[in-house]
Amino acid sequence: MASFVIEGGHKLHGEITPQGAKNEVLQILCATLLTQEEVVVHNIPDILDVNNLIQLLREMGVKVSKIGLSSYSFKADSVDLNYLESDEFLKRCSSLRGSVMLVGPLVARFGKALISKPGGDKIGRRRLDTHFLGIQKLGANFNYDASRSVYEIEAKELNGTYMLLDEASVTGTANIVMAAVLAEGRTTIYNAACEPYLQQLCKMLNRMGAKISGIASNLLTIDGVESLGGTEHTMLPDMIEVGSFIGMAAMTQSELTIKNVSYENLGIIPDSFRRLGIKLEQRGDDLFIPEQEHYQIESFMDGSIMTIADAPWPGLTPDLLSVMLVVATQAKGSVLIHQKMFESRLFFVDKLIDMGAQIILCDPHRAVVIGHDHQMHLRGGNMTSPDIRAGIALLIAAMSAEGSSRIHNIEQIDRGYQNIDERLRKLGANITRID
């Protein structure tokens, strides 16, 4: 199991460009199965989850060729339907969370899909009900084979319908949209997720010939078409990386420029960091974070303690709460971090308390952070990364801490961040990877 050894207290300086968005790319890659024509995708991040999905597509019979540093072409004109029923395929799916989004395209185009219970992060129960109920409403039958722990989904034909989703699940909405574009008639999805990733997927499907309206709202209307054609698509920069780099600059009291951030797609993220007292400047499509000795958490107008909570888009993404919690440990003032969407994402707080942070963990969803105002530095420690986002938060804590830290299980960080150690070393961080 690989580890990072981090020597804290080094300031960062320079420019960094965020990778392509992980949460977008998994959807886009699954969507390439909807056509037999070529789809070219640019700005694909070189990370474990993505590479595993590309390899899975290859094994399914999709012709995949790398045509540039981060560009690939996909052509799904001879998908091996027998392979999709094999134990090997199911085993691969179970270790890759994004694989659940294969269901929509496979059922829409081939009338059948098998999926084992997906893997991924250990961050509480990430239900798949939304995916399944939505695709069921379009006319698919679900059977659970308990002996193999496999869901079998079949549909002679899919028909458009009205549905109200029980939660605005991003991957759930993506799955249903991909199934609905080839369904007969009109599908209306209310309480749909409307994250930029999903907007990107809808825009790409429209370029392929789909008829989706209401993009960027929570009410999507999809008129089914008979078939889709090829297209070209470029990923957005990863907003979670952008937020992580803002947090790093603040914690290490560094001056940093984050390049090509696609500012209009960052939503509430810049203002959420400003509420923690961090200065940010938009310079064209770049973000400049000046060196700050101190940053003070704002309070609400009535003087009550600041609360930062996640919410479906356009609210704050839950993926950044771990970073904001770490950043708050060195702010001036107190803040309540409320993680509403996942029940075990705050369990890494224990590690921060061991490092000297003043945090009261109220329950699995809420933590009160009392900031040190850089008067008392965190201490280096020995820790293990439980999930991608906690991993990056612990890395930020270690970079600002006194002394040396070791983070184990960094495969969790590699799942979501491309060559993160190499990229941070270029900025002046002292990080060593040990296998």
Side by side, the strands of the sheet bearing 255-258 are 13-16, 255-258, 286-289, 281-283
The pLDDT of residue 127: 58
Total count of residues recorded for the chain? 435
Cα separation of 27 and 41, whole Å?
Answer: 12
Strand partners, 307: 336
Side by side, the strands of the sheet bearing 231-234 are 63-66, 72-75, 38-42, 231-234
Second-level CATH architecture of 3-19+237-434: Alpha-beta prism (3.65)
Calculate the CA 188 to chain-centre distance: 26
Sorted by sequence, the CB contacts under 8 Å of residue 367 that are 6+ apart come out as 325, 336, 337, 339, 346, 349, 359, 360, 361
What would the two tokens of residue 166 be?
């029980």
User: For the chain, which residues score pLDDT lower than 50?
Assistant: 119-126
Side by side, the strands of the sheet bearing 112-116 are 112-116, 150-154, 141-145
Yes or no: say if 329 and 397 are a contact pair by the CB < 8 Å rule.
yes
Q: What is the DSSP string of 104-143?
A: HHHHHHHSEEEEEPP----SS----HHHHHHHHHTT-EEE
Q: In a 10 Å sphere around its CB, with 0-12 CB exposed, 13-18 middle and 19+ buried, how is residue 95 labelled?
A: middle
Q: In a 10 Å sphere around its CB, with 0-12 CB exposed, 13-18 middle and 19+ buried, how is residue 402 labelled?
A: middle
Residue 136: closest CA among 155, 150, 151, 115: 155
Yes or no: say if 359 and 352 are a contact pair by the CB < 8 Å rule.
yes
Domains 3-19+237-434 and 22-234 share a fold: yes
What would the two tokens of residue 9 be?
């207290």
| Residues forming the active site | 121
Per-residue pLDDT reduced to its tens digit, 211-261:
999 999 999 999 999 999 999 999 999 999 999 999 999 999 999 999 999
Neighbours of 87 (CB within 10 A): 10
What would the two tokens of residue 235 be?
């990923």
What would the two tokens of residue 351 be?
């590690």
Paired sense of beta strands 186-190 and 162-164, if any: parallel
Angle made by CA atoms 401, 338, 119, in degrees to the nearest 5: 80
Cα separation of 32 and 38, whole Å?
Answer: 8
Yes or no: say if 263 and 343 are a contact pair by the CB < 8 Å rule.
no
Residue 272 half-sphere exposure, CB side, CA atoms within 13 Å?
A: 29
What CATH number should be reported for the domain whose range is 22-234? 3.65.10.10
Paired sense of beta strands 286-289 and 255-258, if any: antiparallel
Q: Where are the domains of the chain?
A: 3-19+237-434, 22-234
